[in-house]
Amino acid sequence: MSTEALQKAICEIGTQGRLAALLGKQQGHVGKWLHRDKKVPADMCLAIERVTGGKVTRYELRPDVFGDPPSKGTRRKA
């Protein structure tokens, strides 16, 4: 992951602290993902996708885990 996707999520929500609160985490966690780890834990990606209303996807955050986004026009099985 590049940090651009996490930066995009922060911008969508407003601040690192607000994003952290929506995820049930402390601001320091988001800062750590951004500056030290350089990636979001895989188990947080779906939550970030949800709180951003899908504007930042799991595929953007961790393509190494979730792969490429499904093609438009293909349907997922429920």
pLDDT of residue 71: 83
Q: Is the pLDDT of residue 1 over 90?
A: no
Kindly report the pTM of this predicted structure. Answer: 0.86
CATH number of the structural domain 3-62: 1.10.260.40
Residue 54: which pLDDT band, with cuts at 50, 70 and 90? very high
The 10 Å CB-count burial string (b at 16+, else e) for 47-63 is bbbebbeeebbbbbbbe
Q: Is the pLDDT of residue 77 over 60?
A: no
Domain ranges, ordered by start, for the chain: 3-62
Query: Model confidence over 15-45: pLDDT tens digits?
Result: 999 999 999 999 999 999 999 999 999 999 9
User: DSSP class of residue 52?
Assistant: T
Residue 74: which pLDDT band, with cuts at 50, 70 and 90? low
Q: How many CB atoms are located within 10 Å of the residue 41 CB?
A: 14
**Cα first-last separation, the chain:** 27
pLDDT of residue 73: 60
How far is 39 from 54, CA to CA, in rounded Å?
18
